[in-house]
Amino acid sequence: MSTPTSAPPVLCKERHGGYCRQPVTSPTFACRYPSHNIGRAHVYGQLTTSAATMRTKFEANATAGARGEQEALKVLLQAFGKDPSVYVFIDRRAPTSSYTFNIDFVIVRDRNLLVVDAKQWSHGTYWSLRKLVHRGWQIWKPFEGLAVRDTTTGHYTPSRTMEFSLDLFRQALAKRTDTEGNPEQWTVNGAYLVVPASQRPDAWRAFHLRLWRAKGAKKLVAGHPSTPRRLRDFVGTTPPQHEDESVLKWLSSLNTRPVRQGR
**What does the pLDDT read at residue 6?**
35
Output the DSSP codes for 22-44: SSEE-SSS--SSGGGGSS-EEEE
Helix 59-80 vs helix 227-235: angle between axes, to the nearest 10 degrees?
A: 70
Count of CB atoms situated within 10 Å of the CB of 20: 20
**What does the pLDDT read at residue 65?**
59
Domain ranges of the chain: 15-261
Sign of CA dihedral 231, 233, 234, 238: positive
Cα–Cα distance measured from residue 86 to residue 232, given in angstroms and rounded to the nearest whole number: 10
Q: What is the DSSP letter of 239?
A: P
**What does the pLDDT read at residue 62?**
53
> Angle 51-231-104 (CA atoms, 0-180°, nearest 5)?
10
Cα–Cα distance measured from residue 113 to residue 107, given in angstroms and rounded to the nearest whole number: 6
**What does the pLDDT read at residue 261?**
32
Measure Cα distances from 192 to 120, 121, 141, 202 in Å: 10, 11, 17, 19
pLDDT in tens, the chain (263 residues): 443 333 333 334 444 444 444 434 344 445 555 555 555 778 887 776 444 444 444 455 555 556 778 889 889 988 998 888 888 998 898 888 777 788 999 999 999 999 999 988 889 999 888 777 888 888 776 665 555 555 566 555 556 788 889 999 999 999 888 777 788 899 999 999 999 988 888 999 999 998 888 878 999 999 999 999 999 999 998 888 887 788 888 998 888 654 333 32
**What does the pLDDT read at residue 99?**
72
